[in-house]
Amino acid sequence: MKLLVTGGAGFIGSHFIRHMLAKYPDYQIINLDKLTYAGNLENCKDYAENPNYRFVQGDIADKKVVDELAAEADVIINIAAETHVDNSIEGPTVFLETNVIGTQVLLEAAKKYGHKRYVQVSTDEVYGDRLDGSFVETDKLTPSNPYSASKAAAELLCMSYNRTYSTPVLISRCSNNYGTHQYPEKLIPLFIKKLLAGEKVPLYGDGLHVRDWLHVTDHCKAIDLILHKGKVGETYNIGTNEEHNNLEITRMLLEILGLTEDRIEYVTDRLGHDLRYSVDASKIKSELGWAAEVKFEDGFAEMVEWYKNNLK
Ligand code: NAD
């Protein structure tokens, strides 16, 4: 099988390609990535020379480059996106260009070449927040910020292509990922970077915003399962209910690094900040046999060690 994977120089995309190359030695993978500030070819350096792997720098919203690469591929896995909520609040336009128009360009190519499968990697953030309970796949999408709205819009386009053109789309909605190789703008790598540099960490509001944390490799295994065993036209939540608020995550980092709470600086909250995300992942567990394998405490400690050695 030949896969066109987008966003493979980013956090999740680079882990996904590593996972696929190791697990399926006869698969060929094209990594299409624009190399925005968040993309880094260092993330792919351990498999850059693999004969089954090829990197192409380009934009998923560029019809010409997408058309050329899609012509060679059997399936598309769209992981590329603008992903930082704070940036989407400052300047939403690029989020629409990449996350919505880019998705439409890829869908058009999947339609043209009759691809076997098109997997859209989406996010639990499309549901918006809730204080208790968990969202199931059929719940309404009520995104709170331009990032999650652009991801929700992309999902709706995918479903419309499925209904109108029978494009074989599958959608995943995963909770917050933690792990190595993440650009240091998101909470965990940003805070580690600042703590290692002797700086304070800026914690939004009261720090009590809750996220469900999943190790990035468990997310990649779920995408792999959805690609191979998922039912076309279906959406799958991915999560573990490993809930921690941002203050707890910060305290864990301080403890591992042997630092104290005076390194926390409480700052004005993000506009429209979602209080808690939570998805019910029963469907992917019961229908596709997915289960998270990495124990949170183990994955977290290993991750901090990696950033200590690799953050520049
Ligand atoms: P990231 O910001 O680390 O990486 C995004 C990658 O996409 C980068 O390599 C970037 O260069 C590339 N890219 C951006 N615009 C592009 C364009 N127009 N054309 C081609 N490439 C482009 O993001 P991530 O955290 O790895 O997230 C990947 C996907 O997973 C996103 O779709 C995101 O919505 C989803 N997701 C992320 C999380 C999380 O916790 N990080 C959780 C659930 C879902």
Quick check: 172 pLDDT over 90?
Answer: yes
CA separation for the pair 302, 264 (Å, rounded): 23
For residue 96, report the distance from its CA to the centre of ligand 1, in Å.
14
Q: How confident is the model at residue 188 (pLDDT cuts 50, 70, 90)?
A: very high
Tens digits of residue pLDDT in 15-52 = 999 999 999 999 999 999 999 999 999 999 999 999 99
- For ligand 1, is residue 34 a contact (CB within 6 Å)? yes
Q: Is 195 helix (H, G, I), strand (E, B) or coil?
A: helix
* Percent over 90 (pLDDT), the chain: 99
DSSP label at residue 269: P
Domain range annotation of the chain: 2-180+213-241+277-293
Residue 310: other Cβ atoms inside 10 A? 11
Q: Is the minimum distance from the CB of 279 to ligand 1 under 6 angstroms?
A: no
Among 124, 129, 212, 224, the one annotated catalytic:
124
Q: Does the annotation mark 139 as catalytic?
A: no
pLDDT 10s digits, 107-158: 999 999 999 999 999 999 999 999 999 999 999 999 999 999 999 999 999 9
Rounded CA separation 123/114 (Å): 26
Active site includes 274?
Answer: no
Atom 10, ligand 1: residue with shortest CA distance: 39
For 283-291, what is the mean pLDDT?
98
Any idea which architecture 2-180+213-241+277-293 has in CATH? 3-Layer(aba) Sandwich (3.40)
- Sign of the torsion angle spanned by Cα atoms 20, 22, 25, 30: positive
C-alpha 82 to ligand 1 mean position (Å): 6
Task: Give residue-wise pLDDT tens across range 207-259.
Answer: 999 999 999 999 999 999 999 999 999 999 999 999 999 999 999 999 999 99
* Catalytic annotation, pick one of 125, 155, 218, 242: 125
Q: Is the minimum distance from the CB of 9 to ligand 1 under 6 angstroms?
A: yes
User: What pLDDT does 312 receive?
Assistant: 77
